[in-house]
Structure 1
Amino acid sequence: MKHFVGVGACYLDTILSIPHFVVEDEKLRASSIARRRGGNCPNTIEVLQQLIEQRAGAAELQANLVAVLPNRDAAAVNDIEASLGGQSVLRHCIYREDQVEPASSYIIRNTATSSRTIINYNALQEMTSAEFKDIADTLGNEAGRIPDVSLECMLYLRQQYPGVKISVELENPAREGLQELALHADVVFFSKSWALVSAESDYSAAASLLCCTWGEDGAWAYEPVSGMTHHAAAHHFGDDAVVDTIGAGDTFIAGILYGMLFHSQDWRCAERLRFANEIAGQKVLQEGFAGLGALMAEV
């Protein structure tokens, strides 16, 4: 069995919806509160699992999350397990047994504009390169998606497991070191903010695909080998209103990777881009990620 591996932070999100953003020292009553598991890689894995479940041969691929979590018996770990379908997805996670609180994200969502402010808190010690190498050796040459950990870990994968395929997501342009990681990745996902500040950078040294979402202007993909650029227009669903944009980018990534994993022969790049753009568009019309796989099976 092959493995799809997502390496990154796993959060528990608390989402407060408010009618408008407050000024300093102002009081405001939230219109709703929601709590759910978050984090870019876990979100992508949740959507990818749903898409895999809709096809025959789903058992051919096992999704794995590699994240730093608190004590195995912490209530938060049980919640995370349940959100991802059980312990098997978490069997390669690193547990800090002296901690009981997970990484947390507090999201203030402005319902008038669909914008949001995100405040993160994480007291867990970060994964070390030695811990990562032990996990990589356990998985062997079947690792699928290894996002941002460190350049040292990526170079280790390239040296020890030449057949591994690596993707990275460049989300925060202020975070140092991500540009170097992109130079060694097979697939690079850019945020709009990153693309705006680094438009002149060359990331095509190893990459076979570069992708970027652009909000209302849709999404773009570039294939360095052929020099072809593809664009998918943003999806519009009649009078349906945007409900929840949190995780839309993670959903888009799941769509692209699903296309690469299961439709490498029968879908061209433009078709994978269209599929990823559509499932991301469906996601913003609902809270959370539940049911996206079944929804895409119907369209």
Structure 2
Amino acid sequence: MLCPSVDHYPSEDEKLRASKLSRRRGGNCPNSLEVLQQLVEVSQSDLSLGLMTVLPKRQSHSTAFIRDSLGPSVDCDNCVYREDTSEPASCYVIQSQQTGSRTIVNYNGLSEMTFEEFKTCVGQTELENCWFHFEGRIPDTTLKCLQFLRRTQPSVQISVELEKPGRAGLDKLAAEADLVFYAKGWAQACGYKSMEECLRSQSRVTPKAKYLFCTWGEDGAALLTRSDSTCISVPALKIADSEVVDTIGAGDTFIAGIFFGLLCHYDEWEWARKLRFANELAGRKVVQEGFQGLGQVMTRQMR
């Protein structure tokens, strides 16, 4: 992912010099893994992390960059490597200093993971006490993957993120999940006016979900617990003398925080604390560039 910062968004055929340029690894699930591995490392938790996706050939510079960015604690051996290409999926994010907005252009020359490839990857994975998290994309293939896990591995836990509005079939993915994350953009596109409205409505069409989450930008985040239909919310974190500088990956960071609370502090932290932790983690992410150092920043909150 290339992220140039410009004074203003260029008009058509305008030549414009960027004030700075950064290169990052993108991807919703890899972003969450990068943050989660920091939290695991700082807390010295016993949690194994792995990525299951499509990458360029093993020996390419791009693949090395991706693996290095995730850190040694994230296992990438069960990824599918496309040996006929050396370029990953790419994303160009133009950030306007004038308005604070961002314009994103995606390109992916890698063919997507097939259902058969997913089954092969699952067969190579240690599935005891295993959790699978899916980004809500390629709904038809992803639904087959979820149904395969439900049919053959009933003990695994499944979560799904619904982010992109207008992507048909995401509701079917949510209906198969134990835990669902809803983004503000998706919720608003469905006509919901608030986090609680979204969660209470979705709880009626997600029969397997134990917990539903919704993030709402400046309004914070909310959680609905199915067992007692309780909905709690927390406001967005406001840090004195800080301003929002980078919202890319804020939702992925929130998800990492929830997983940390759920998988590493299930019994010690009540759900209100898990939600506050994830919300603060996301709040601290948006006032810095990238994800580096978030684990260290959250050390006190882990005690």
CA distance in 2, matches of 1:258, 1:88: 15
Q: SS at 1:61's partner residue?
A: coil
Distance 1:88 1:213 in 2: 26
The CA distance in 2 between the partners of 1:218 and 1:118, in whole Å, is 24
Q: Give the equivalent residue in structure 2 for 1:80.
A: 66
Q: Alpha carbon RMSD of aligned pairs, Å?
A: 1.5
Aligned amino acid, residue 159 of structure 1: R
Of 167, 185, 189 in structure 2, the residue corresponding to residue 193 of structure 1 is 185
TM-score by length of structure 1 reads: 0.91
Paired residues, number:
285
Moved more, 261-270 or 85-94: 85-94
Q: Separation in 1 of the partners of 2:175 and 2:259? A: 19
Letter in 2 for 1:94: V
Alignment partner, residue 147 of structure 1: 134
How many percent identity over aligned positions? Answer: 48
Query: In 2, Cα distance between the equivalents of 1:114 and 1:267?
Result: 36
Question: What is the aligned partner in structure 2 of residue 39 from structure 1?
Answer: 27
Aligned to 1:239: 241
- Note the C-alpha offset of 1:22: 2.2
- 2:56 maps to 1:54: no
**Code of the aligned partner of 1:144:** W
More divergent stretch after superposition (234-243 vs 274-283): 234-243
Residues 87-138 of structure 1, C-alpha deviations (whole Å, 9 max, x = no match): 8621111001011111100001122333211111101111011110111122
Aligned to 1:120: 106
- Local SS of the residue matching 1:145: strand
The equivalent residue for 1:178 is 170
The 1:87/1:81 distance shift into structure 2, 3 A limit, reads farther
The residue type paired with residue 136 of structure 1 is V
Structure 1, 15-24 or 184-193: larger mean CA deviation? 15-24
Cα displacement (A) at 1:224: 1.9
Residue 11 of structure 2 corresponds to residue 23 of structure 1: yes
What is the one-letter code of the residue matched to 1:268?
E
The answer on whether the counterparts of 1:140 and 1:161 sit within 8 Å (CA) in structure 2 is no
Cα distance, 1:85 vs. partner? 1.4
What is the alpha-carbon distance in structure 1 between the residues aligned to residue 143 and residue 67 of structure 2?
Answer: 29
Give the drift of 1:140.
4.2
Distance verdict in 2 for CA 1:112–1:89, change over 3 Å: farther
Distance 1:159 1:88 in 2: 27
> Which residue pairs with 1:9 in the alignment?
none
Deviation of residue 249 (structure 1)? 0.8
- Residues 249 and 280, structure 1, Cα contact 8 Å, conserved in 2: yes
Give the direction of change, closer, same or farther, for the CA distance of 1:228–1:15 in structure 2 (3 Å limit). Answer: same
Structure 2 counterpart of 1:147, one-letter code: F
The Cα shift of 1:146 comes to 2.8
Assess if the C-alpha contact under 8 Å between 1:230 and 1:270 holds in 2: yes
Letter of the 2:40 partner, please give it.
I
Q: CA deviation at 1:214?
A: 0.7
Of residues 275, 278, 286, the one that matches 2:277 is 275
Q: TM-score, with normalisation over the residues of structure 2?
A: 0.90
Deviations 1:47-80 (A, max 9, x none): 0001011223x3x321100110111111101111
Determine helix, strand or coil for the equivalent of 1:66: coil
TM-aligned CA distance change 1:159 to 1:221, over 3 Å: same
Query: 1:212-291 maps to which residues of 2 (within 5 A)?
Result: 212-291=214-293
1:294 alignment partner in structure 2: 296
Q: What is the one-letter code of the residue matched to 1:173?
A: P
- State whether residues 235 and 281 of structure 1, in contact with CA within 8 Å, keep that contact through their aligned partners in structure 2: yes
Counterparts of 1:32 and 1:175, CA distance in 2: 33
Separation of aligned partners in 2, 1:76 and 1:241: 32
Contact 2:47 2:264 in 1 (8 A): no
Helix, strand or coil: the match of 1:229? Answer: strand
What secondary structure does 2:207 align onto? coil
CA distance in 1, matches of 2:94, 2:146: 34
CA 1:114–1:89: 2 relative to 1, 3 Å: farther
